[in-house]
Structure 1
Amino acid sequence: MKAAVLNQIGDTKLELREDVRTTEVGPREIRIRVRATGVCHSDLSAMDGTLPALAPGIIGHEGAGVVAEVGAAVEHLAPGDHVIVTFVPPCGACPNCLRGQPHLCAVHAIAAFTSPRFRVGDTPVFGYAGLGTFAEELVVPAEGAVKIPDDVPFEIAALVACGVTTGVGAVLNTARVEPGASVLVIGCGGVGISVIQGARLAGAARIVAVDPVPDKHELARRFGATHVTAPEGLAALSAELTGSMGFDHSFDVVGIPATIRSAWDNARRGGTVVVVGAGRADAMVEFSAQELFLHDKRLLGSFYGGANVRHDYPRLLELWRAGRLDLDGMISRRLGLDEINEALEALRDPGTLIRQIVLL
């Protein structure tokens, strides 16, 4: 089959090959025929080493498709089912799952770094984050797919697999933004736009979007921001809207020390700071012991939006059906498999707005 292969970490382009095959389907696994995959900035982060990945490997972690084959022990899925994949399949039995934090389940996540999902000739090839959606087919644990209604377009479903769940979940699950709150969102890419939509869904009264790229400002307004500014205008806007007291909830959707620090500095005393952006392991953020004590702020990480995929995927699709979550507007371009490198190159431009979708 066709797949886009990352030959080594640090490569800026993927090699499109036609001689890739999946591993055999195990008793508790399924084979999925991928129909759409989002091109996410995390894929670039895997390629350049910002996020952990193995090479050779198949990048892509945001996808949807049709079940083609199920293992002998799989009972809840059948060939022909439409599904969304997840890069954190909840096993349902580990301590994290049992305490109600299935997004932190490490059972299948660890297996993703020890069990190759593909082969090219005799060479084992890993799937990024246990998936590898830049391939025409993939084999995953049965827990790694959530059945969806057949009438949901695959490109809409693919968005839910990562970016939308991460952004909306950071608001509803992690921060638990309350109606009437003031919200600051730093970074207006695809996940940032999802945070803005989540804040709108939660009933936030003021949603301030910050991004250095002017083209993203009108886009942020379209998806629910009440105010927009470049970073250098944030202090004046905070003074105008909050009397320089700061915002109730502040979201960093970039993941670098400067923006995380800005999110902290612009949250009010007693407010909540949520780090959504995926940063480098060696990127350090500095706080004084005194300010952590005196300011009484909550500093929270938000991995995968704190999602319970079996609950949150259907909930997000229902919000989309009701017209309260704009997913159609988040698709900037629909591409073919051969155009993956073009889409990745576009994401390297900070002016790139929303998601590229590859239809396989």
Structure 2
Amino acid sequence: MRAAILAGYGEPLRVTELDIDKPLDDEVLVEVRASGVCHSDLTAARGGQQPGLPVVLGHEVAGEVLEVGRGVTGVRPGDRVVVTGTMFCGSCRWCVGGHPQHCRNKPRSRPRDLPPRLSLEGRPVQAYVGVGGFAEQVLVHSSGVARIGDRLSFATACLLGCAVVTGMGAVINTARVRAGESVVVVGCGGVGLSAVAAARLSGASPIVAVDVDPAKLSIASRFGATHGVLAGDDAAAEVVELTGGGADHVIEAVGSPATVRGGFAMLGVRGTLTSVGMARMGADVTLPLEPLMMSERRVQGSKMGGGQFARDVANYERLCVEGRLDLDALVSHTVPLDEVNAAFDVMDRASYARTVITFD
């Protein structure tokens, strides 16, 4: 099969032929029909996160099941599915406690005494977070697969694998936004726009989008933002004014120290900042202590939406089918696999919501 391989951090991806193994008992082989290009893929490509080399990046995938292992019961060949990197064992402390995103024994790769899932000329190749979605096929653990219906296009459905569950889940599962509360979303890419949509569905008001790009603010208004604020030195003061003293919730979807500090400054009394952006390794942030205590502000993280993948995918798919959630608008444009590096360049220009690699 063809796949885009990263051989060195900071280098362009190279499309080449790879060998992919047959599924073992608990694995699923999926023909990829669409794969979203996420900012965490770009961070890994540049070495901000280092998954090991060589590696096939990509982790939000939609496609059709080709083959399943003998122990797989949840899906069968021909099923339309979404694939995610949130794979889990089901038996550790965090899985039993309902937080599989923190599984201690993630089955993202095979044990060393078994043949690798992917190989190039006999040498093992990593699959990013156990998926490796910039490829014509993926071989994954069955816990990372959720079945979907036929009402969503593959290009839209693939975003359920990361951007949508991460952004919407941060609002619904982690921050637990209630009707009438004010929400600010910092960073309006695929994750941030999903957070804006979830805030609207939760009955939040006002909903303030913050971004460096006016085009992104315009897109955010389509998802439910009531106000748009250009990021900059005056953004926090403008947000505080718009929210009548500071926000109840800030969803930080960039992952930089500057946006975390700025988001913290936008909070009101007893406000909560929920950070979902993928930070570079070693990044840290300094926050003022006085408002942390005196205003009882809170800071928390949210990983992959803080929920249950299969359950949340089903819920968000249902909202789309009912016409209450329009995820088609998240897909700015599509490209073939050979243009994966151009997709990263588009992400740098910041004026797009999400680029999706499609396979005909």
TM over 0.5: yes
| Structure 1 residue identity aligned to 2:53 | A
% identity of equivalent residues: 41
Q: CA deviation at 1:55?
A: 1.0
CA contact (8 A) 2:216 2:353 kept: no
Aligned-partner Cα distance in 2 for 1:49–1:309: 27
- Which residue is equivalent to 1:353? 352
Correspondence for 2:30: 32
Given that residues 113 and 130 in structure 1 are in contact (C-alpha distance below 8 angstroms), is that contact kept between their aligned partners in structure 2?
no
| Structure 1 residue 219: Cα displacement | 1.2
Give, in whole Å, the separation in 2 of the partners of 1:107 and 1:276.
Answer: 22
Q: Verify the 8 A CA contact 1:112 1:126 in the aligned structure 2.
A: no
Partner of 1:118: 118
Partner of 1:101: 99
Q: In the alignment, which residue of structure 2 is the partner of 1:258?
A: 258
Give the number of equivalent residue pairs: 356
Instruction: Please name the residue that 1:281 is paired with.
Output: 281
Q: Give the 5 Å matches for 1:137-152.
A: 137-152=137-152
Tell me the amino acid that sits aligned with residue 89 of structure 1. M
Q: Which position in structure 1 is the counterpart of 2:65?
A: 67
Quote the residue 1:230 is aligned against: 230
Relative to structure 1, the CA distance from residue 284 to residue 239 in structure 2 (aligned partners, 3 Å threshold; closer, same or farther) is closer
The yes-or-no answer on 1:46 pairing with 2:44 is yes
Deviation at 1:236, TM superposition (A): 4.3
Cα deviation for residue 237 of structure 1 reads 2.5
Give 1:108 deviation, angstroms: 2.1
Cα separation, 2, equivalents of 1:197 and 1:113: 40
Structure 1 residues 118-142: Cα deviation after superposition (integer angstroms, max 9, x where no partner) = 1111111000111101111111111
Residues 1:113 and 1:197: Cα distance change in structure 2 (over 3 Å) = farther
Distance in structure 2 (CA, Å) of the matches to 1:112 and 1:322: 39
Deviations for 1:105-158, whole angstroms, at most 9, x for unmatched residues?
232266479784311111110001111011111111111111111343211210
| CA contact 1:112–1:127 (8 Å) conserved in 2 | no
Length-normalised TM-score, structure 1 = 0.94
User: Partner residue of 1:294?
Assistant: 294
Distance in 2 (alpha carbons) for counterparts of 1:291 and 1:102: 33
Q: Following TM superposition, where does structure 1 have runs of at least 4 consecutive aligned residues deviating by more than 6 angstroms?
A: 112-115
Q: Once the 2 structures are TM-superposed, how far is the Cα of residue 281 of structure 1 from its aligned partner?
A: 2.4
Cα deviations by residue, 1:246-291 (Å, 9 ceiling, x for unpaired): 1110111111111101111111121111001111121111134444
Contact conserved, 2:107 with 2:141, CA < 8 A, in 1?
no
2:53 — aligned with what?
Answer: 55
TM-score w.r.t. structure 2 length? 0.94
The answer to whether the Cα contact below 8 Å between 1:166 and 1:307 also exists between their aligned partners in 2 is no
Is residue 2:243 matched to residue 1:242? yes
CA contact (8 A) 1:9 1:54 kept: no
Structure 2: how far apart are the matches of 1:32 and 1:106?
25
Check 1:325–1:113 CA distance in 2 against 1; reply closer, same or farther (3 A cut).
farther
Distance 1:37 1:276 in 2: 21
Question: Corresponding residue for 1:216?
Answer: 216
Paired residues of 1:27 and 1:74 also in contact (CA < 8 A): yes
Root-mean-square deviation (CA, aligned residues, Å) is 1.7
3-state DSSP of counterpart to 1:204? coil
Q: Which moved more, 1:269-278 or 1:291-300?
A: 291-300
Q: What is the deviation of 1:240?
A: 3.1
Q: For 1:285, what is the secondary structure of its paired residue? A: coil
8 Å Cα contact 2:88/2:107 also seen in 1: no
- Preserved CA contact (<8 Å) 1:109 1:129: no
1:98 and 1:235 mapped to 2: Cα distance?
40
Per the alignment, in what secondary structure is the counterpart of residue 273 of structure 1? strand
Cα separation, 2, equivalents of 1:357 and 1:287 = 36
**Alignment partner of 1:216: what SS?**
helix
Quickly say closer, same or farther: Cα 1:269–1:236, change in 2 above 3 A.
Answer: closer
One-letter amino acid of the counterpart of residue 240, structure 1: E
Letter of the 1:108 partner, please give it: K
Confirm or deny: 8 A CA contact 2:108 2:129 kept in the other structure.
Answer: no
User: Aligned equivalents of 1:286 and 1:196: distance in 2?
Assistant: 26
Structure 1 residues 234 and 190, CA, compared in 2 at 3 Å: closer, same or farther? same
CA apart distance, 1:221:
1.1
Distance verdict in 2 for CA 1:85–1:106, change over 3 Å: farther
CA distance in 2, matches of 1:159, 1:39: 9
Question: Residue 221 and residue 113 in structure 1: after superposition, are their counterparts in 2 closer, same or farther (change >3 A)?
Answer: farther
* Unaligned runs of at least 5 residues, structure 1: none
> 2:87, 2:108 within 8 Å by CA — same for their partners in 1?
no
Which deviations, in whole Å up to 9, do the C-alpha atoms of 1:328-353 show, x marking residues without a partner?
A: 1111112222221211221122x332
Equivalent residue number for residue 134 of structure 2: 134
* CA–CA distance in structure 2, aligned partners of residues 110 and 79 of structure 1: 21
1:89 partner SS: coil
